[in-house]
Amino acid sequence: MIFGGWCDEKYRFDWFFERPGGEFVSKADWLGGYTPFCHGTNRLGESTTNGVFFFPWDLEKPEDVPSVEGIVAEGGDSLMFINNAGTVEPIGEIGELSEETLRKAAQINFVSPMLFCNRLVGLCRKKRQKLKIINISTGAANYPIAGWGSYCSTKAAFKMFLDVLAEQEKGGGCVEVVHVDPGVMDTGMQEKIRAADAKSFPRLAEFQALKAEGKLRRPEEVAENIIRKYIL
Rounded (10°) angle between helices 112-127 and 149-168: 10
Specify the pLDDT at position 72.
62
Indicate the DSSP class of residue 29: G
Q: Check pLDDT > 50 for residue 77.
A: yes
Model confidence at 146, in pLDDT bands (50, 70, 90)? very high
Q: Name the E strands within 122-230.
A: 130-136, 175-180
Give the whole-angstrom CA distance, residue 141 versus residue 156. 4
Specify the pLDDT at position 14.
33
Specify the pLDDT at position 33.
43
The residue with greater pLDDT, 230 or 7, is 230
Q: Check pLDDT > 60 for residue 137.
A: yes
Burial class of residue 221 in the structure, from the number of CB atoms within 10 Å of its CB (0-12 exposed, 13-18 middle, 19+ buried): exposed
Total-model pTM: 0.81
Specify the pLDDT at position 55.
64
